[in-house]
Amino acid sequence: MNRWLLPEDIADVLPAQARKVETLRRNILDLYQSYGYELVAPPILEFLDSLLTGTGSDLNLQTFKLVDQLSGRTLGLRADITPQVARIDAHLLNREGVTRLCYAGSVAHARTPVGSTAREELQLGAEIYGCVTWQADLEAITLLLKTLSLAGLDKVYLDLSHAGILNGILAKENLASIEMEALYGLLQSKDRPRLSVWAKSLPEQTAKALLALTELNGPCAEVLNKAKTALPQTPEVKEALAQLAHLIESASDLSKGLELSIDLADLRGYQYHSGVMFAAYIDKLPQPIARGGRYDQVGKAFGRARPATGFSLDLLTLASLSPHQKPKKAILAPWDNDAQLKQVIDSLRQAGEVVIQLNTGEPMQSAEYVCDRELVKQGGKWSVSQK
């Protein structure tokens, strides 16, 4: 077996792409800082029970597990940073007011996610804690759109949903977790025949509402109007529809390239989401480029329930879809012990120039840099000239 082979769906990031990823990371985190977000860096390994606290079974299946030789306890290699940041807010920072946190770090998946070709991602995200109103969800969506714009992706399709809709429909039902898993799968696939059979044991009004969810998708105004007649108008359903209406009205003019839609059966991540949920799509990718939403109950498992909303995305995928970066222009210089040459090179680098030193006749090989100038000695002095 070749020692340089990597595990399936694990890949190296080569120079030009790595620079692109790092440039994007810096620009995006600077954007978040301008909104008052503070950077955190949770550990890549945690005790498994802490890492999975407040999350659903999906995350458990995606988490690599190993035994800690020091404590004998089971550790998890994180597959999602969001629960870790919720732990930091609830348990370590322990603030009373609104807290804005952002992060960028590696995550690993035990199985390749559907629609993806990689089991390792560089997850980047932003979270707002302590604000219960829909304005926090709007800020998260605004920041997501600006993040995509920084990567040159301005045409965005944003699909909205709300976990409160399903909760309102099933408010009087007492379904076991395994039944909820089955319902989630049927709604996600919009399998009406099987859903109809599955819902036979439920009250007729509840069954009709579940079937209606599979058809409540499309243009926002149209879906909201249909939902008011097709769904039971419980307080939770009414509040969820009102929040969606507020968001749509406010978000419609955030970006010229933004198209809004609603899919009330799209409940991916419903296990820990508690309110508005959203997924961002672009033309170049069949699966969402980013996902987000409200998850007010996750912090409760760490001793303090906090209103929370935010989003995350894979920075490696984002960078691969961003318009190609042109190689950076550089200055070629000889490897020489000339003191004056060293001084000139130091001055150029301090001024922001890239100076690459090579031996005479040695070829320049780089995917990141093109040497369009060179340092030459003329009249006893080193100066920059065009190649």
User: Which residues fall in the annotated binding site for L-histidine?
Assistant: 80-82, 123, 127, 268
Closest CA to 60 of 43, 37, 78, 42: 78
CA 57, distance to chain mean position in Å, is 19
CA 303, distance to chain mean position in Å, is 26
Write the DSSP string, 294-307: E-TTGGGGGT----
Coil, helix or strand for 260?
strand
CA distances from 236 to 25, 166, 167, 261, 266 (A): 38, 9, 7, 21, 18
Residues in contact with 299: Cβ distance below 8 Å, sequence separation at least 6, in sequence order: 54, 86, 87, 89, 90, 129, 305, 306, 308
Q: Is 288 left (phi over 0), alpha (psi -120 to 50) or beta?
A: beta
- Count Cβ atoms below 10 Å from residue 89 Cβ, excluding itself: 25
Reported in sequence order, the residue ranges of 2-153 that DSSP labels E, i.e. its strands, are 38-39, 45-47, 64-67, 74-77, 99-108, 120-129
Alpha-carbon distance of 219 to 340, in angstroms, equals: 67
Alpha-carbon distance of 310 to 143, in angstroms, equals: 9
Cα-flanking dihedrals φ and ψ of residue 350, to 5°? -65, -25
Q: How many CA atoms does the CB half-sphere of 287 hold within 13 Å?
A: 12
User: H or E stretch including 144?
Assistant: helix 134-150
Annotated binding site: 80-82, 123, 127, 268
Alpha-carbon distance of 355 to 331, in angstroms, equals: 5
Cβ(206)–Cβ(173) below 8 Å:
yes
